[in-house]
C-alpha cells in the first residue's frame, strides 16, 4: 500500500510499504529519504505517536493515509496543530491550510493529483476542507474494509456455504468493477447525460419546441398548450379516457386535425389532449409514420416527408430547463416497462369513445370500446392468443380482416 508522509519542513514523501510493516522499518526508509536519523524521528497518525515496535495495520494505517513526521526537537504544539482527528478531519484546519499554502511545489503537485483538495486548501471555507478530509478518510476506510473482507474469504472454510456465497458475490462485484472501469476508459459517453430530441415547430401558427418521441404511440398536447395555440375549441370530448403508463393522466379528448409547420412546410396533424401541466407537446409515432419522418442522429436532424424538409435537433442550451419535467413525464407515459395501457369509455358510456394508450410498450392495448373488444373476442375464438390479436389490430388500426390475414400468415 501507499502512504504519504509530510515532514516538519513541508516535504511530501510517498512510500510503498506493506500493511504489516513495522514503524521502525518505515522510519528507516524515511531516514534514507530525509537524512533525519531514525532516533530523531517522531511519526504521528491521527494525533497519536507511532511506536517503533508497532505495525501499521495494528495502528489502523490504510492505503493513501497521511502520516506526520517531526523531529524530536520540534515543538509539540506544532505537531498537534498539523495532526488529524480519528474521523480524518484536521485538529487545526487553519494551521494545516497555511502549512500547505507555504509550500508552492506541494500545491502544484496537489493541483495535478487532487485538484478538489487543492482548491479547498486555497479557499476560505474551512468546513469544506474538513468535509473533504472526512470523505477521503471514509473512502479509505471503506476500501480497507473491503480488502479485509476479501482477505478473510481467502482463509474461509471451503465447505462453508455462507462463505462460498460471499466469495461468489465478491467475484461478481469484481467483474462489475472491471466492467465499469473499462466503460470509463473506452466508453465514457455512456456516463454523460443524454439530451432528448427537440425541434422547433409551429402549431396553428404558434411557435413551440416539440419533443420528438418515437416511443410514444400518439402525438399528445397539453390542455394549456392547446389553449395557447387556439385549438381547444376543436376538442372532441367523445375520446375522453385515462392514459396508463408508469403513471396515469386524464385524456380530455382529441383534436382531429390542425396545421403544424416544420421548416417552411405545413403538415396536417392530430393530437390527443392530456390534462398534464408537465408535458407541453410530444410528436409521437403516429405522426412520425404518417409524414414519413426520419430521425437522423448522424446529421442530428429530423427529416420530414421522406426528406423534403430537415430541421436540426436543438442543443441542450436551447432547451428550457423546465422541459426536464416534460421528459420525465413522457418517459412515464410511454414507458414500455409500465402496466398495460388501458382505455376507458366516455362518461356518457358512448361506445365510440375509444381511447388510445399513450405508451407503445409491449402489452399496451389499443382499446376501442365494445366494438374493439368484440373484434378481439372473435379473433381469439379462432385460436389466436389475446396479446397477439391486440397487437395485430393495433398494427392495422383496428381493421379486423387485415389483422386476421396477418395472424393466419404468421
Q: What is the pLDDT of residue 84?
A: 79
Q: How confident is the model at residue 73 (pLDDT cuts 50, 70, 90)?
A: low
Reported as a pLDDT band with limits 50, 70 and 90, residue 72 is low
- Domain 198-334 in CATH 3.40.50.2300? The answer is no
The predicted model gives 50-69 an average pLDDT of 86
C-alpha cell at 99: 502549512
Taking residues 311-319, what's their average pLDDT?
88
Position 32 pLDDT exceeds 90:
no
Does 71 have pLDDT greater than 90? no
Q: In Å, what is the CA distance from 398 to each residue of 75, 392, 408? A: 89, 8, 16
248-262 and 265-274 strand pairing: antiparallel
- What pLDDT was estimated at residue 200? 93
Residue from 62, 102, 106 nearest 78 by CA? 102
> Average pLDDT, stretch 93-114?
80
Which pTM value belongs to this model?
0.45
As a CATH number, domain 369-409 is 1.10.8
Instruction: Assign 349 a pLDDT band (cuts: 50, 70, 90).
Output: very low
Task: Determine the pLDDT at residue 190.
Answer: 78
Higher pLDDT pick, 247 / 185 = 185
- Ordered by start, the domain boundaries in the chain are 2-150, 156-192, 198-334, 369-409
Catalytic-role residue among 213, 236, 299, 325: 213
Rank 78-92, 114-128, 139-153 by mean pLDDT and report only the highest: 114-128
d(CA 121, CA 58): 30
- Lowest mean per-residue pLDDT among 99-113, 129-143, 201-215, 253-267: 99-113
DSSP secondary structure letter of residue 160: -
Q: What is the CA radius of gyration of the chain?
A: 34
Q: Is the pLDDT of residue 280 over 80?
A: yes
Q: What is the pLDDT of residue 369?
A: 54
CATH of range 2-150; options 3.90.1140.10, 3.40.50.300, 3.10.20.90, 3.40.50.12280: 3.10.20.90
- Give the pLDDT confidence of 147-200 residue by residue, as tens digits: 777 777 777 777 888 888 888 888 888 888 889 888 888 888 777 777 889 999
What pLDDT score does 254 carry? 92
The alpha-helical segments, DSSP class H, found in 335-385 are: 369-380
Looking at the DSSP bridge assignments, the partners of residue 66 are 4
Q: Is the pLDDT of residue 365 over 50?
A: no
Q: What is the pLDDT of residue 63?
A: 84
Q: How confident is the model at residue 288 (pLDDT cuts 50, 70, 90)?
A: very high
DSSP SS3 for 382: coil
Give bridge partners of residue 216 from the DSSP assignment: 359
For helices 369-380 and 400-409, give the axis angle rounded to 10 degrees.
30
Question: Which pLDDT score is estimated for 309?
Answer: 92
Is 213 labeled as catalytic in the residue annotation?
yes
Q: What is the chain's mean pLDDT, rounded?
A: 78
Amino acid at each position: 500500500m501507499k502512504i504519504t508522509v509530510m515532514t516538519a519542513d513541508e516535504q511530501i514523501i510517498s512510500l510503498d510499504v506493506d500493511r504489516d510493516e513495522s514503524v521502525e522499518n518505515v522510519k528507516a526508509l524515511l531516514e534514507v529519504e530525509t537524512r533525519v536519523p531514525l532516533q530523531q524521528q517522531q511519526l504521528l497518525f491521527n494525533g497519536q505517536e507511532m511506536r517503533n515496535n508497532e505495525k501499521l495495520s495494528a495502528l489502523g494505517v490504510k492505503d493513501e493515509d497521511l502520516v506526520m513526521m517531526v523531529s524530536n526537537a520540534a515543538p509539540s504544539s506544532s505537531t498537534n496543530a498539523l495532526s488529524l482527528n480519528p474521523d480524518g478531519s484536521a485538529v487545526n484546519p487553519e494551521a494545516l491550510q497555511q502549512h500547505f499554502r507555504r509550500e508552492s511545489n506541494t500545491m502544484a503537485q496537489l493541483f495535478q493529483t487532487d485538484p478538489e483538495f487543492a482548491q479547498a486548501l486555497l479557499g476560505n471555507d474551512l468546513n469544506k476542507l474538513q468535509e473533504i478530509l472526512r470523505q477521503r478518510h471514509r473512502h479509505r476506510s471503506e476500501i480497507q474494509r473491503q480488502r479485509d473482507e476479501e482477505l478473510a474469504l481467502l482463509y474461509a472454510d471451503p465447505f462453508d456455504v455462507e462463505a462460498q456465497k460471499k466469495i461468489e458475490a465478491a467475484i461478481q462485484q469484481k467483474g462489475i468493477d472491471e466492467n465499469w472501469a473499462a466503460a470509463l476508459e473506452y466508453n465514457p459517453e455512456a456516463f454523460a447525460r443524454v439530451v432528448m430530441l427537440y425541434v422547433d415547430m409551429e402549431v396553428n401558427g404558434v411557435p413551440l419546441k416539440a419533443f420528438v418521441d418515437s416511443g410514444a404511440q400518439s402525438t399528445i398536447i397539453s390542455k394549456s398548450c392547446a389553449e395557447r395555440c387556439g385549438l381547444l375549441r376543436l376538442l372532441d370530448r367523445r375520446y375522453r379516457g385515462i392514459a396508463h403508463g408508469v403513471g396515469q393522466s386524464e385524456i380530455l379528448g382529441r383534436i382531429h386535425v390542425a396545421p403544424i409547420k416544420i421548416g417552411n412546410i405545413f403538415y396536417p396533424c392530430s393530437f390527443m389532449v392530456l390534462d398534464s401541466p408537465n408535458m407541453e407537446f410530444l410528436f409521437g409515432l403516429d405522426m412520425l409514420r404518417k409524414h414519413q419522418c426520419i430521425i437522423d442522429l448522424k446529421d442530428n436532424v429530423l427529416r420530414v416527408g421522406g426528406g423534403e424538409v430537415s430541421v436540426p435537433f436543438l442543443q441542450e442550451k436551447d432547451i428550457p430547463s423546465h422541459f426536464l419535467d416534460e421528459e420525465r413525464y413522457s418517459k412515464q407515459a410511454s414507458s414500455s416497462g409500465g402496466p398495460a395501457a388501458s382505455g376507458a369509455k366516455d362518461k356518457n358510456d358512448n361506445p365510440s369513445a375509444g381511447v388510445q394508450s399513450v405508451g407503445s410498450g409491449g402489452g399496451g392495448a389499443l382499446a376501442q370500446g365494445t366494438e374493439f373488444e368484440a373484434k378481439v373476442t372473435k379473433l381469439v375464438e379462432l385460436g389466436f392468443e389475446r396479446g397477439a390479436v391486440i397487437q395485430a389490430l393495433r398494427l392495422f388500426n383496428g381493421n379486423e380482416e387485415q389483422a386476421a390475414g396477418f395472424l393466419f400468415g404468421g
